[in-house]
């Protein structure tokens, strides 16, 4: 090999070495760039993913907890409403029994008047009083109606309750301490047939009234009886604990 050929070979080898060195350096630079780029973001991305995952789990747990609270509150509210309804029903029933509410229903209307059979010329008190309506007549008719199942009774719109009294004060008849004027209209809510039959019993409380045409009995499909409007305050009777 001539000196010129050796020189050319040496130059070519040197050129290949330098070229290889440049390629190796380029690859190293690219790998370093990759190592220093995206991979370095993995820890941050991983931490963010873990944080979001934990936050999502916490939200799911809170949602389940709130749902449980809502269901509990709904059940308690429903139970409360049921309890309130029971109390309201009991109160309404107590008011009906006490006569402190207006009521309607079917029943009978009984009208009591002085007898038209009284002789206009009759002036003997012991005779004329037999043809007049007395407090005892009203009491007897009312008691008979209650015995026949009447659920509410009023005389001239005076509601009968446990403390109601019927009494004669001079020429007047008083119910609930209210002076009444004839005719005396007794309204009773209950079974019309049963109450009417009770007043037509032979030798019954209305027998003499019927004989003297002092009583009129009418069945009604819709009767309205007002509430008791007097005092219900007790001064002496107290609930026993």
Assign residue 190 the CATH number of its domain. Answer: 3.30.70.1880
195 against 74, higher pLDDT: 195
pLDDT value at 67 more than 70 = no
Tens-digit pLDDT profile for residues 154-179: 999 999 998 899 998 888 899 998 99
What is the pLDDT confidence band of residue 4, given thresholds at 50, 70 and 90?
A: very low
pLDDT value at 38 more than 50 = no
Q: Tell whether 29 is covered by a domain.
A: no
pLDDT value at 36 more than 70 = no
Using the 3D structure, point to which of 98, 118, 140 is the last residue of a domain.
98
What's the half-sphere exposure (Cβ side, CA atoms, 13 Å) at 76? 6
Q: Tell whether 208 is covered by a domain.
A: yes
Across the range 204-223, mean pLDDT stands at 95
Biggest alpha carbon–alpha carbon distance for the chain:
184
Domain identity same for 53 and 161:
no
Q: Which domain range does residue 86 map to?
A: 41-98
Distance from C-alpha of 208 to C-alpha of 214, rounded to nearest angstrom: 8
What is the pLDDT confidence band of residue 47, given thresholds at 50, 70 and 90?
A: low
CA distances from residue 169 to 13, 132, 156, 166, 178 in whole angstroms, order as listed: 150, 15, 17, 10, 11
| This prediction's pTM | 0.65
- Give the total number of structural domains in the chain: 2
Q: Tell whether 26 is covered by a domain.
A: no
Q: Tell whether 87 is covered by a domain.
A: yes
What is the pLDDT confidence band of residue 33, given thresholds at 50, 70 and 90?
A: very low
What's the half-sphere exposure (Cβ side, CA atoms, 13 Å) at 44? 5
Domain identity same for 111 and 203:
yes
Domain identity same for 117 and 195:
yes
49 against 102, higher pLDDT: 102
Q: Tell whether 5 is covered by a domain.
A: no
């Amino acid at each position: 090999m001539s000196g010129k050929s050796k020189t050319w070979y040496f130059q070519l080898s040197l050129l290949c070495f330098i070229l290889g060195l440049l390629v190796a350096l380029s690859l190293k630079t690219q790998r370093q760039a990759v190592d220093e780029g995206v991979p370095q973001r993995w820890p941050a991305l991983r931490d963010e993913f873990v944080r979001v995952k934990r936050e999502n789990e916490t939200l799911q747990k809170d949602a389940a907890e709130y749902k449980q609270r809502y269901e509990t509150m709904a059940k308690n509210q429903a139970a409360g409403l049921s309890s309130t309804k029971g109390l309201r029903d009991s109160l309404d029933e107590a008011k009906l029994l006490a006569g402190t509410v207006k009521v309607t229903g079917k029943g009978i209307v009984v009208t009591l008047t002085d007898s038209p059979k009284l002789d206009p010329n009759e002036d003997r008190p012991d005779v004329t009083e037999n043809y007049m309506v007395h407090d005892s007549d009203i009491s007897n008719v009312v008691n008979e109606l209650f015995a026949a199942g009447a659920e509410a009774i009023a005389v001239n719109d005076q509601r009968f309750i446990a403390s109601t009294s019927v009494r004669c004060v001079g020429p007047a008849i008083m119910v609930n301490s209210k002076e009444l004027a004839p005719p005396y209209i007794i309204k009773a809510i209950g079974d019309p047939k049963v109450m009417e039959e009770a007043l037509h019993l032979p030798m019954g409380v209305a027998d003499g009234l019927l004989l003297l045409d002092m009583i009129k009995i009418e069945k009604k499909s819709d009767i309205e009886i007002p509430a008791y409007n007097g005092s219900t305050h007790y001064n002496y009777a107290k609930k026993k604990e």
